[in-house]
Amino acid sequence: AIAYSAWNRVGLERANSVVMVQQPKAMILHAPHQRENYKPAFTDGVWEVTRISDGDTITVRQGNDERRIRLCGIDAPEKNQPGGKEAKEFLARIISEGGDRVGMTFVEQDRYGRWVGEVWSAPETFEEQLLNSVMIGHAWPYTKYWGNCPNRSALAASEQSAEQSGRAIWKQPGAIAPWEYRKRNR
């Protein structure tokens, strides 16, 4: 038996079946398999990260296709806002630890032409993590836009965990939500 946390998705290639972990609690899977047979679940491919703009926006490339991606369901502090530099550095570190490659699940395009999606670090490995969820604490949960995020339950669990652990940026003294910060500084 292998246990996976709520933050991971699990794909097992076995008679075209895939198991997706979206619950806010761990599941035990009884499925013997070899690590080399592991495949990511529900992904739009593996992409190389070419740029990290801030804590919620990256640029990825797959062959000749380059796209700017906004992480679904979160809003990181702006670059010149308190916490902005730290959020970008945290995201860069996690992406680097995953080999600068990410798995993408594209959700939609926003009004600025960016793709909005779920981003998975260390794709095609057992260390795969949902970056949208991992960033909560360094970024605000953007519940207004959770509706289309396939793993919004993981985002909600991360929000609760960040608050309980005291690492929620929105609970810091003087914290201003990025959407409010942008309104004030237009």
Active site positions, annotated = 70, 78, 114
Show the DSSP H helices in the chain as ranges.
Answer: 84-97, 131-135, 152-165, 178-184
Phi and psi for 136 in degrees, rounded to 5? -65, 125
Exposed e or buried b per residue across 75-90, where buried means at least 16 C-beta atoms within 10 angstroms of its C-beta:
bbbbeebebbeebbeb
Phi and psi for 113 in degrees, rounded to 5? 85, 0
Show the DSSP H helices in 46-169 as ranges.
Answer: 84-97, 131-135, 152-165
Q: Are 20 and 128 in contact (CB under 8 A)?
A: no
CA 166 – CA 115 distance, rounded (Å): 31
C-alpha distances out from residue 109 to 72, 106, 176, Å: 11, 8, 26
